[in-house]
């Protein structure tokens, strides 16, 4: 699906972790690749992300909470989703189909499955899971390094569903 500007829409979902503060660089990179980016953050993600800056950068409001059923949708439909950073809490809730935040609800709807989801199942379904164990903190006290470069590279090779040939 595309927005009014005919660019594919990417939803960037951010959870409550320090890398959420680094979203503007990633959003800019995605926009440079031609994406119309919308940002959705979990309530804890809003503690780390600069919501006002992201809204100005994307031209879309940053969504945090579910809207009232009578309110119109303010974001265009997504062609793809990136969950970055994805916290342990969110990945586990996603694996069990829990939609207690707007962010989880959107991702669960996108998966479109009535069965529990695991990282293995996500990979089998063609969902790219970028996890670099070498970048995780260790007992040595080494700080965690978020895999932004791997995420940028993965996004660069992605072809939105609307742009794929039929049957793929």
Q: Answer positive or negative: Cα dihedral of 62, 110, 156, 148.
A: positive
pLDDT at 135: 61
pTM over 0.85: no
Asked if 33 contacts 6 with a C-beta cutoff of 8 angstroms, the reply is no
**pLDDT digit string, tens, across residues 82-93:** 888 988 899 889
- CATH code of domain 9-68+75-159: 3.40.50.1950
Pick from 1-5, 14-18, 80-84: least confident:
1-5
């Amino acid at each position: 699906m595309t927005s009014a500007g005919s660019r594919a829409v990417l939803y960037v979902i951010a959870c409550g972790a320090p890398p959420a503060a680094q979203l503007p660089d990633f959003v800019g990179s995605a926009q440079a690749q031609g994406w119309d980016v919308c940002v959705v953050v979990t309530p804890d993600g809003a503690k780390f992300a600069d919501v006002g800056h992201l809204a100005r950068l994307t031209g879309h409001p940053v969504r945090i909470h579910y809207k009232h059923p009578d309110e119109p949708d303010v974001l265009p439909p997504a062609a793809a989703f990136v969950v970055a950073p994805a916290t342990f809490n969110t990945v586990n809730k996603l694996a069990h189909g829990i939609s207690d935040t707007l962010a989880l609800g959107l991702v669960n709807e996108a998966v479109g499955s009535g069965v529990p989801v695991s990282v293995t199942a996500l990979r089998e379904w063609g969902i790219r899971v970028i996890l670099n164990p070498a970048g995780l903190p260790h007992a040595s006290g080494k700080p965690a390094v978020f895999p932004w470069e791997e995420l940028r590279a993965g996004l660069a090779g992605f072809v939105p569903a609307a742009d794929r040939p039929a049957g793929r």
